[in-house]
Structure 1
Amino acid sequence: MNNQPFDLIFGTGPLGRSVMVELLGYGRKVRMANTSGKASGLPGDVEVVRCNAYAVEEVEACCRGARVVYVCVQPPYHEWPQKFPSLIRSIAEGVMRTGAKLVLGDNLYMYGQTVGSIHEELPYAATTRKGKVRSEVARYVLGLHQKGNLQTVIGRGSDFFGPYVLGSTLGSRVFPALLQGKACSLIGHIDLPHTFTYIGDFGKSLVLLGETESAYGQAWHVPNAPTMTPRQVAELAYRLAGKQPKIRSMGRVMIAIGGLFIKEARESMEMMYAFEQPYVVDSSKFFRTFGDISSPWETSLQATLDWYASLR
């Protein structure tokens, strides 16, 4: 990229790709970093580099010349407590050495179990291991901003769905079966309201935050389409696919059995509360500042169906 300023994205997964698409729409030069230095299906003018994000010196070298750094990467789900804090500290330290800004893609685990809608003013009251890790990470990066060491902003989304999203409650357990007219598997109490975040809207929101000076130093809940129940979401997806809805749910017992063989399933047990009570995200702070940029359910689900269909 010579000496031209660029924006850097750590991670080439679903969120990183969504950020990339949005940045290209802004006319930005984009560099993406992962552990291999390779990624398929990216535009030819997007540079992909290898970087060990746990090594500060490598992060610094990768970020040198960057304008904004987007953190869209995380350790394997079952390794969060051991690796997440050191990953974020390494990235933040490397970014600080370059003078770039940092945008962190986050979730909602730090709030723990809540009553009523989930908004940014809630305390970090998580009692789960992964919730505590998310609390630690958020406090750390916002603390760096408050000390004047690193300009940081956090965007928080709920459970993902969309192109490239596989390991989600609205991912590979739902859409492949759905497209074949078979029964899909949802988890928890599927007739309670649950907010889901379209990955395209998440990426768009992170870039909007990264481009807005006044947004830094805060956490923002990214916009989502109106909250429905998981059953309603699945039924709409079946209708869009021209299939008859066939939906089954998995509770704690089934998840626990799966956890005997699958680490990710075992780790998800402590987060089951989010699917056993209403889980409604309040994004009104974002709406008031930037407007409602969320995609309609029909649009986001159709894009998701089209992507999964392309894999067949």
Structure 2
Amino acid sequence: MTKHVVVGAGPVGLAVTEHLRERGDDVAVVARHLSGRLPEGAEHRRIDVTDPALAKAAFEDADVVYHCAQPPYHLWPELFPDLTRGIVEGVEATGARLVVAENLYMYGDVDARITEDLPYAATGPKGRTRAKCARMVLDAHDEGRIEATIGRASDFFGPRVRESAVGEQVFGEAVEGKRARVFGNPKLPHTYTYVPDFARALVLLGERDEALGEAWHVPNPETVSTRRFVYLVYDAVGIDPGFPRILAVSGVPLTLGGYVSSPLSELLEQRHSFEAPYVVSDKKFRDTFGDAVTATPLETAIEETVAWYRDEAIATQPIRLSTDTDRPSEATHQ
């Protein structure tokens, strides 16, 4: 049986783990901290893989390693290269195959459809860091030190995704009956990636030899405007169509807001992607792998995400103690 090791226990790492466990595969998750429960049957290894020797120990029995980890957003330039270097050297020492989950920051400000052959033209620190890490992985492959492939996704949404342009500030607000907060011009088209689709694509890339040595844009649902995306979220929640659904922040307010609001400040480097059309092509993936992995239809993906947020809202509600004035119900008599 193939042994899979997933580095990172965020939304992407857990989605990969969940997909592998649903297939009955043997999976270990490497993470120093867990923010929630692992899928049933997954092993947890609390190891710091920035140290190549420890990474080697973590990957000793691995056939495929998935790099789905990332440091705190504001510390990417300081921490991401060492994290990636440790994983690459650990994989090299064990002979495992490496699959890396990436976003699209390395391309920088793009004025055309986003394809894999674009140059790494990012000028901001996070984009340059992503480019540096991608080159580190692909150079190691080209030098024959490792077997590696990269899957890239646009802005995430889906179960467990909270810190995203359409995470808590769209789905969370909608489920609570509040207005969504979006960045830039919501009338423009913007590609969003459903995390379970990303996970299935990463697993496929790790299984196919033709994926090696290249970066791939994973399958995405149909691209719509951010306004349309948000309206579909509120439709799934069941909010009245007349409800004012969007509070958009752009231009000068976005720039000024970045100094006092962490989510805004972290998006400043990527503001171009919200103030111009941002359309990602997954044609290369589809042409190569056919229908081995297809994107979940957008409305279905949104409905599944709303369901997760609702379940989380119920699970985190404080327990209200009954009082003498409460009316009795079946729930209080077990």
Same fold (TM over 0.5): yes
In the alignment, residue 285 of structure 1 is paired with which amino acid? K
Cα deviation for residue 25 of structure 1 reads 3.3
Cα deviation for residue 53 of structure 1 reads 2.0
In the alignment, residue 124 of structure 1 is paired with which amino acid? Y
Deviations 1:194-219 (A, max 9, x none): 00000010001000101111111000
- Aligned match of 1:242: 238
- Aligned match of 1:157: 153
Gaps of 5+ in 1: none
Whether 1:126 and 2:122 are equivalent positions in the alignment is yes
Whether 1:80 and 2:76 are equivalent positions in the alignment is yes
- Aligned match of 2:311: 310
Whether 1:113 and 2:109 are equivalent positions in the alignment is yes
Q: 1:77 to 1:252 in 2, by over 3 A?
A: farther
Q: What is the alpha-carbon distance in structure 2 between the residues aligned to residue 115 and residue 234 of structure 1?
A: 24
- Aligned match of 2:38: 42
In percent, how many aligned pairs have the same letter? 42
Cα deviation for residue 5 of structure 1 reads 4.9
Structure number with greater Rg is 2
Q: Compute the TM-score of the two structures, normalised by the length of structure 2.
A: 0.89
- Aligned match of 1:270: 269
Given candidates 4, 23, 28, the residue that maps to 1:26 is 23
- Aligned match of 2:98: 102
In the alignment, residue 119 of structure 1 is paired with which amino acid? T
The alignment partner of 1:307 has SS state of: helix
Deviating beyond 4 angstroms after TM superposition, the runs of 4 or more aligned structure 1 residues are none
Deviations 1:177-229 (A, max 9, x none): 21232211111011000000000100010001011111110000001011001
The alignment partner of 1:173 has SS state of: helix
In the alignment, residue 30 of structure 1 is paired with which amino acid? V
Cα deviation for residue 39 of structure 1 reads 5.3
Contact 1:5–1:65 under 8 Å retained in 2? no
- Aligned match of 2:322: none
CA RMSD of aligned residues (A): 1.4
Whether 1:299 and 2:295 are equivalent positions in the alignment is no
Q: What is the alpha-carbon distance in structure 1 between the residues aligned to residue 153 and residue 180 of structure 2?
A: 23
The alignment partner of 2:136 has SS state of: helix
Q: Compute the TM-score of the two structures, normalised by the length of structure 1.
A: 0.95
The alignment partner of 2:29 has SS state of: strand
Gaps of 5+ in 2: 314-334
Cα deviation for residue 42 of structure 1 reads 2.2
The alignment partner of 1:311 has SS state of: helix
Q: 1:299 to 1:124 in 2, by over 3 A?
A: same
In the alignment, residue 27 of structure 1 is paired with which amino acid? G
How many residue pairs get aligned? The number is 308
Q: What is the alpha-carbon distance in structure 1 between the residues aligned to residue 48 and residue 15 of structure 2?
A: 22
In the alignment, residue 250 of structure 2 is paired with which amino acid? G
Q: What is the alpha-carbon distance in structure 2 between the residues aligned to residue 114 and residue 265 of structure 1?
A: 21
Given candidates 57, 62, 65, the residue that maps to 1:66 is 62
